[in-house]
C-alpha cells in the first residue's frame, strides 16, 4: 500500500491537474488489464504483449505537457503513452488484436502501432529502434519553424544500445527540440538494471552529452508532470533534455513471463510504488475528490475499457487481399504473390 506519510510530504502542485492525471493513469491501468484479458481469451493476434502497469505516471505525467503537432516514438511497452496522447482505445485494442479496424489495419499490432494524426511516429520492437527518428523529426520541426518538439520514450533496457548515445549527441550538438524519456522500470526483460550497468544513475549519461537531465520518482505523477513542463519548455527553445522516470514493472516482461528471476518479496515491495493508488490517495487527502466521485470515475473507465474488448472481438481480420498492399506506395505495383508466380512459370512448360 502507498505510504500515507509520502502523500503528506508531497508538496502542493498548483500547476498540475491531479484529477486529470489520475484519470489518464487509471485509463492506462485498466486498458492494460484488458489487453491481458484479450490475450487470455485468445483474441489477441500478437504473441508478444508488454504491459506498462506500474509505469502509468511516465505516460500521463509527461504527455500532459505535449501539444498537438508534437511527435513521438515509443517502444514495445508503449500502450500507455499512446493513450495519454489521445488514442482511441477501441482502435488500439483492435490493432493489438490484429483486426482491420485497428490503427494499422492489423499489420502492426502492439509493437508497431502508430498514428500520424496524433504525431505517433511508431512503437518499436527493436530496443532503441525508435530513438533516432526524433532527431530527424526535430530537424524537420526546426526546418519548417513549427515550434513543435519530438519525444522518444524508451525503457532502461535501451540504455544498453549505442544508437541512444548517438542520438543524444546529435540532439545536444544541434540543439534540437527533442526530449528523451527513459522509463526506468528496473528491468530489461529479466535483467535488472544493476545487472546491466555499473552506473545505474542513468541521467548522468545525458549530462555527459550536454543535455539537461534529471531523474524523477515515478510514484508521484505530479512530479513527473512538473519535470515534463520544465523540460518540454526548454526543448521548445532548443535545449534538448533527458528525463528518467523511476518506476517498477509490476508484472513480467511479456504476458507469459512469470518473473522467475525476481522473488516475491521484491515484487511486493516494488508494487507499493503504485502511481495510480498514490494519486488516488492524494486526491482524497487534499479533498480534490471524494471516494464516491472516484468510484464513479473508475466505474466509467472500467465500462469504457470493457467495451474495447467487445469492440475488438466483433471486428474482422484484414482481408488477404491487403497482404501485398503498402509494401510500396499505392501508385506502385504490388509484389507478385509466390503462388501467382509459380503458376505463371509452370503454365509455360
**349 binds another protein per the rule CB under 8 A:** yes
Length of the chain counted residue by residue = 349
Least distance in angstroms from the C-beta of 244 to another protein: 20
Task: Name the DSSP letter for residue 120.
Answer: B
Quote the CA–CA distance of 226 and 12 in Å, as a whole number: 11
Which single residue is written with the C-alpha cell 510530504?
Answer: 9
Q: Give the one residue of 108, 188, 240, 270 binding another protein; rule: CB under 8 A.
A: 108
Least distance in angstroms from the C-beta of 331 to another protein: 7
Q: Which phi and psi angles does 20 have, rounded to 5°?
A: -65, -40
Quote the CA–CA distance of 101 and 81 in Å, as a whole number: 20
Phi/psi-derived region of residue 147, left when phi > 0, alpha when psi is between -120 and 50, beta in every other case = left
Least distance in angstroms from the C-beta of 93 to another protein: 15
Least distance in angstroms from the C-beta of 99 to another protein: 11
Under a CB-based contact definition with an 8 Å cutoff, are residues 39 and 94 in contact?
no
The alpha helices in 150-290, defined as continuous H runs, are 162-173, 193-196, 203-209, 221-236, 264-271, 275-285
Q: Please, how many CA atoms are within 13 Å of residue 340, restricted to the half-sphere of its CB?
A: 5
**115 binds another protein per the rule CB under 8 A:** yes
Task: List binders of another protein among 144-163 (CB under 8 A).
Answer: 144, 150, 162-163
Least distance in angstroms from the C-beta of 152 to another protein: 10
For another protein, the closer of residues 140 and 299 by Cβ is 140
**345 binds another protein per the rule CB under 8 A:** yes
Q: Which stretch binds another protein (CB under 8 A): 48-56, 57-65, 130-138, 216-224?
A: 130-138
**172 binds another protein per the rule CB under 8 A:** no
List of residues 6+ apart from 251 with CB closer than 8 A: 51, 53, 54, 257, 259
Least distance in angstroms from the C-beta of 183 to another protein: 20
Distances (CA, A) of 181 to 81, 152, 319: 11, 6, 37
**105 binds another protein per the rule CB under 8 A:** yes
Q: In this structure, how many other beta carbons lie within 10 angstroms of the beta carbon of residue 314? A: 10
Least distance in angstroms from the C-beta of 165 to another protein: 9
**102 binds another protein per the rule CB under 8 A:** yes
- Show the binding pattern over residues 313-332: x = contacts another protein (CB under 8 A), - = does not: ------------xxxxxxxx
Cα 89 from chain centroid?
A: 14
Q: Give the one residue of 116, 208, 296, 314 binding another protein; rule: CB under 8 A.
A: 116
**46 binds another protein per the rule CB under 8 A:** no
**216 binds another protein per the rule CB under 8 A:** no
Where does residue 53 rank: exposed (0-12), middle (13-18), buried (19+ CB within 10 A)?
A: buried
The alpha helices in 50-154, defined as continuous H runs, are 56-63, 79-84, 89-96, 133-144
**37 binds another protein per the rule CB under 8 A:** no
Least distance in angstroms from the C-beta of 171 to another protein: 10
Q: Give the one residue of 139, 196, 284, 307 binding another protein; rule: CB under 8 A.
A: 139
Strand 191-192 relative to strand 187-188, pairing: antiparallel
**19 binds another protein per the rule CB under 8 A:** no
Q: Which phi and psi angles does 179 have, rounded to 5°?
A: -130, 135
Q: Which stretch binds another protein (CB under 8 A): 97-105, 247-255, 291-299, 305-313?
A: 97-105
Least distance in angstroms from the C-beta of 36 to another protein: 23
Task: List binders of another protein among 65-84 (CB under 8 A).
Answer: 71, 73
Which residues make up the interface to another protein (CB under 8 A)? Answer: 71, 73, 102-108, 112, 114-116, 121-122, 124, 126, 129-144, 150, 162-163, 166-167, 169-170, 173-174, 325-333, 335, 345, 348-349
Amino acid at each position: 500500500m502507498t505510504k500515507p506519510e509520502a502523500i503528506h510530504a508531497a508538496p502542493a502542485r498548483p500547476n498540475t491537474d491531479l484529477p486529470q492525471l489520475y484519470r489518464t493513469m487509471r485509463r492506462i491501468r485498466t486498458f492494460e488489464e484488458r489487453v491481458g484479458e484479450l490475450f487470455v481469451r485468445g483474441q489477441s493476434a500478437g504473441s508478444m504483449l508488454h504491459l506498462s502497469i506500474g509505469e502509468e505516471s511516465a505516460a500521463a505525467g509527461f504527455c500532459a505537457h505535449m501539444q498537438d503537432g508534437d511527435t513521438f516514438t515509443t517502444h514495445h511497452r508503449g500502450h500507455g503513452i499512446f493513450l495519454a496522447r489521445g488514442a482511441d482505445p477501441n482502435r488500439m485494442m483492435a490493432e493489438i488484436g490484429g483486426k482491420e479496424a485497428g490503427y494499422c489495419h492489423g499489420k502492426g499490432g502492439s509493437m508497431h502501432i502508430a498514428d500520424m494524426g496524433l504525431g505517433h511516429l511508431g512503437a518499436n520492437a527493436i530496443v532503441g529502434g525508435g530513438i533516432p527518428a526524433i532527431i530527424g523529426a526535430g530537424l524537420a520541426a526546426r526546418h519548417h519553424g513549427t515550434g513543435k518538439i519530438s519525444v522518444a520514450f524508451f525503457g532502461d533496457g535501451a540504455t544498453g544500445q549505442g544508437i541512444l548515445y548517438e542520438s543524444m549527441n546529435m540532439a545536444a550538438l544541434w540543439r534540437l527540440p527533442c526530449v528523451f524519456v527513459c522509463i526506468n522500470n528496473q528491468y530489461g526483460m529479466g535483467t535488472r538494471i544493476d545487472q546491466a550497468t555499473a552506473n545505474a544513475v542513468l541521467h548522468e549519461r545525458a549530462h555527459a552529452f550536454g543535455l539537461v537531465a534529471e531523474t524523477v520518482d515515478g510514484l508521484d505523477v505530479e512530479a513527473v508532470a512538473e519535470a515534463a513542463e520544465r523540460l518540454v519548455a526548454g526543448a521548445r527553445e532548443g535545449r534538448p533534455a533527458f528525463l528518467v522516470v523511476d518506476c517498477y514493472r509490476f508484472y513480467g516482461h511479456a504476458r507469459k513471463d512469470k518473473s522467475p528471476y525476481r522473488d516475491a518479496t521484491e515484487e511486493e515491495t516494488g508494487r507499493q510504488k503504485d502511481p495510480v493508488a498514490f494519486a488516488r490517495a492524494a486526491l482524497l487527502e487534499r479533498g480534490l475528490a471524494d471516494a464516491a466521485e472516484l468510484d464513479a470515475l473508475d466505474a466509467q473507465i472500467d465500462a469504457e475499457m470493457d467495451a474495447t474488448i467487445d469492440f475488438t472481438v466483433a471486428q474482422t481480420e484484414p482481408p488477404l487481399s491487403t497482404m501485398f498492399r503498402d509494401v510500396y506506395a499505392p501508385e506502385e505495383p504490388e509484389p507478385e504473390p509466390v503462388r501467382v508466380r509459380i503458376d505463371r512459370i509452370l503454365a509455360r512448360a
